[in-house]
Structure 1
């Protein structure tokens, strides 16, 4: 096993964690159910924590795949660049969730707790969006079937050779 394996094995957790964290947190917020809200907050914190090793294993994974046939360097760079935004979003929503959990554990009875819950929910939805887009960008690196049209699957000279040898 190497860092690429760990990156590929772990990279699903922040995406799924962000989705489920936002759904459960949203359910708790709108139903005014503190225990459910706290579960959602814990998932948001977990997502932030797991996003760190996923991000850190990305660079070693890049070293492994960048010279493989069909891998386009610009696709890796797009994934890497957007992964920074996803990590920042996850960390901000994770810190917000942690602050909210601490605040709610103090049993303060005022509107600030509710405001913190809504703010964390908004931040977690942003995290869902950035994690989802980062996952899509990562997927197209090796999954040519989900790439948009116009993206070559091999080195440019291979594509040219195919066109030049076509007798039709």
Structure 2
């Protein structure tokens, strides 16, 4: 088990939320595919529309899982984290400029 005490909690939370979303969507996609496979036993031809819907949902799931993996990588690999905005130095007042 990895020690996550040094990991930034916001990255762990973002990864956990993305994983939950991806898992729920994968279960929905699996259910749809199971129904289509079950109905396909009696109907020998799957319509192109149903096949296209499953393809689009599969590609969407691929994106969700890739995002989850990237967020998981951010936990232990700070070199791939998005650039943190630098705090801007306070602007010089008119009196300081003189």
TM-score (norm 2): 0.74
Aligned with residue 136 of structure 1, among 70, 75, 93: 70
**Structure 2 match to 1:87:** 23
Alpha-carbon contact 1:103-1:113 (below 8 Å) kept: no
1:125 alignment partner, SS class: helix
Alpha-carbon contact 1:89-1:126 (below 8 Å) kept: no
Give runs of aligned pairs for residues 6-25 of structure 1, distance below 5 A.
Answer: none
Alpha-carbon contact 1:104-1:113 (below 8 Å) kept: no
- Counterparts of 2:17 and 2:10 in 1: how far apart (Å)? 10
Q: Which one has a larger percent helix, Structure 1 or Structure 2?
A: 1
2:37 alignment partner, SS class: helix
Unaligned runs of 5+ in 1: 5-63, 152-168
TM-score (norm 1): 0.46
- Counterparts of 2:27 and 2:70 in 1: how far apart (Å)? 20
Query: By how many angstroms is 1:133 displaced?
Result: 0.4
Query: By how many angstroms is 1:73 displaced?
Result: 0.3
- Counterparts of 1:82 and 1:128 in 2: how far apart (Å)? 13
Query: By how many angstroms is 1:66 displaced?
Result: 2.7
Give runs of aligned pairs for residues 1-168 of structure 1, distance below 5 A.
Answer: 4=1, 64-67=2-5, 69=6, 71-109=7-45, 113-150=47-84
* Matched positions, count: 85
The runs of 4+ residues in structure 1 deviating greater than 6 Å are: none
- Counterparts of 2:56 and 2:50 in 1: how far apart (Å)? 10
1:150 alignment partner, SS class: coil
Name which one, 1 or 2, has greater alpha-carbon Rg: 2
Query: By how many angstroms is 1:149 displaced?
Result: 2.0
